[in-house]
């Protein structure tokens, strides 16, 4: 068939003229991101919280407010632990990254196409997963509000309405820790307790943990988080003693880069070994699975770079038969509830969660704080995250508040 070159060209032009206004109308229908604000907030904690790398007296969070042309606002949170002592992003750095580099990419984008927005962010900025996670939460919160559905509905729906939440005993004092655990058991708030160890000698840490386990017996599950503080030799000695004491789970005993050490420990002991710092996103998960490095993965939306990336990490674990645990960066209510929506949508979550961040804070920047009872966190059912900013509290706790 002979081509009518001239006719084809005219047709193309005609179609282009015809399609252009329609395209504009379609894109005009979708709300665009109009502004992104990153606010540093310092909230006091109920007590000093001792970790192997830092002692926290307050928690600093970056609260993100993302507004769109349909007047809907989404909120998100990017929070890390102890400045730069845990992660590679500091609160101040997260704010700078958002203000200087991410907000200009976001403004003008279709607020409803979260996959496309996140792809553009990932092209514009490498890494910076905490900042990206907070922005993704704000986009999902706004879209949930827009459609009148909970955030988990945007993930395909929740398979659990509540999540088991453990509590970290981190006063550093054995008797105080036992008293705290007894009170929380009696209140039916927590029945699993995690101990942050690795600051003291292995012998002292094992003695501390063993006394707490002996006091609580079968009434509570006890786990330990070493936060990478041990070398392989100390880890082998420590885990052998902790296993004998009846400890249920050992979290990240050795440095995250030393995957061989983790694999040898996982093969050597019956007590499950969990990777936390060692598993950020799906790529790490794949490497850990290939090396049979861990029995359990700790998932966190911040370290993965958002809820969707966390779910992709979980998919790798599911494929390999690795158990899952819902971790925290000690976020406040916004970040914790964002995590909760994500964790609620996972097919398996056999080790529960540690979403107790809001309980560690004396005060909050949301109007209704998350509900904890009968050993579970009850996930809000309202649109989006199901949370509202308390404007007065936010004005009071923001670092740049007007005197």
Find the residue with minimal CB distance to Mg ion.
276
Residue 216-235 contact track with Mg ion, rule CB under 5 A, x = bound: ---------x----------
Burial 265-302 (b: 16+ CB within 10 A, else e): bbeebebbbbbbbbbbbbebbbebbeeebbbbbbbbbb
List beta partners, residue 168. Answer: 194
Q: Considering the rule CB under 5 A, would residue 191 count as an interface residue with Mg ion?
A: no
266, 273 Cβ separation under 8 angstroms: yes
- Give the count of residues interacting with Mg ion (CB under 5 A): 2
Q: Is 196 a catalytic residue?
A: yes
* Shorter beta-carbon distance to Mg ion: residue 36 or 273: 273
Question: What is d(CA 317, CA 310) in angstroms, rounded to the nearest whole number?
Answer: 11
Which of 136/276 has CB closer to Mg ion?
276
**Would you call 354 a catalytic residue per the annotation?**
yes
The piece of 230-238, 268-276, 288-296, 337-345 that touches Mg ion (CB under 5 A) is 268-276
Compute the least distance from the CB of residue 225 to Mg ion, in Å: 4
Shortest Cβ distance from residue 350 to Mg ion (Å)?
17
Q: Given the complex with Mg ion, which of 250 and 385 has the nearer CB atom?
A: 250
How far apart are CB 403 and Mg ion at their closest, in Å? 38
Q: Give the chain's radius of gyration (CA, Å).
A: 23
Question: Which residues from 74-113 bind Mg ion, rule CB under 5 A?
Answer: none
Told to check if 284 binds Mg ion by CB under 5 A, we report no
Considering only residues 124 to 153 of the shown chain, the ones binding Mg ion according to CB under 5 A are none
Give yes or no for residue 276 binding Mg ion (CB under 5 A): yes
- Closest separation in Å from C-beta 166 to Mg ion: 12
From the list 112-120, 198-206, 274-282, 380-388, the region that binds Mg ion by CB under 5 A is: 274-282
Nearest distance in Å: CB 45, Mg ion: 18
Q: Which of 196, 213, 300, 303 is catalytic?
A: 196
**Rule CB under 5 A: which residues touch Mg ion?**
225, 276
Known catalytic residues are: 196, 354
């Amino acid at each position: 068939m002979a081509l009518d070159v001239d006719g084809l060209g005219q047709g193309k032009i005609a179609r282009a003229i015809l399609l252009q206004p329609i395209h504009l109308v379609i894109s005009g229908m979708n709300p665009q991101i109009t502004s992104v604000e990153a606010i540093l907030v310092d909230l006091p904690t109920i007590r000093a919280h001792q970790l192997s790398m830092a002692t926290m007296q307050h928690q600093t969070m970056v609260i993100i407010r993302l507004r769109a042309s349909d007047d809907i606002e989404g909120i998100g949170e990017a929070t890390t632990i102890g400045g730069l002592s845990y992660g590679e992003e500091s609160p101040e750095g997260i704010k700078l990254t958002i203000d200087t580099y991410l907000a200009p990419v976001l403004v003008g984008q279709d607020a409803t196409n979260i996959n496309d927005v996140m792809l553009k962010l990932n092209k514009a900025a490498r890494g910076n997963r905490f900042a990206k996670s907070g922005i993704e939460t704000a986009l999902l919160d706004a879209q949930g509000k827009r459609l009148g559905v909970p955030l988990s509905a945007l993930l395909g729906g929740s398979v659990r309405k509540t999540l088991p939440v453990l509590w970290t005993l981190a006063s550093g004092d054995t008797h105080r820790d036992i008293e705290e655990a007894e009170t929380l058991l009696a209140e039916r708030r927590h029945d699993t307790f995690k101990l942050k160890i690795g600051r003291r000698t292995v012998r002292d840490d094992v003695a501390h943990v063993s006394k707490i386990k002996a006091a609580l017996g079968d009434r509570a599950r006890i786990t330990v988080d070493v936060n990478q503080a041990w070398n392989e030799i100390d880890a082998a000695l420590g885990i052998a003693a902790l296993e004998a004491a009846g400890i249920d789970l050992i979290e990240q005993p050795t440095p995250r880069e030393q995957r061989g050490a983790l694999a040898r420990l996982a093969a050597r002991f019956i007590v499950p070994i969990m990777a936390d710092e060692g598993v950020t996103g799906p790529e790490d998960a794949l490497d850990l699975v290939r090396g049979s490095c861990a029995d359990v993965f700790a998932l966190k939306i911040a370290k993965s770079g958002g809820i969707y990336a966390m779910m992709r990490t979980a998919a790798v674990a599911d494929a390999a038969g690795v158990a899952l645990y819902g971790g925290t960066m000690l976020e406040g209510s916004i970040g914790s509830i964002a995590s909760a929506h994500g964790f609620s949508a996972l097919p398996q979550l056999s080790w529960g969660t540690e979403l107790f961040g809001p309980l560690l804070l004396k005060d909050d920047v949301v109007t209704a704080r998350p509900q904890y009872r009968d050993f579970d966190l009850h996930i809000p059912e309202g649109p989006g995250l199901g949370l509202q900013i308390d404007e007065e509290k936010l004005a009071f706790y923001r670092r740049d508040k007007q005197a």
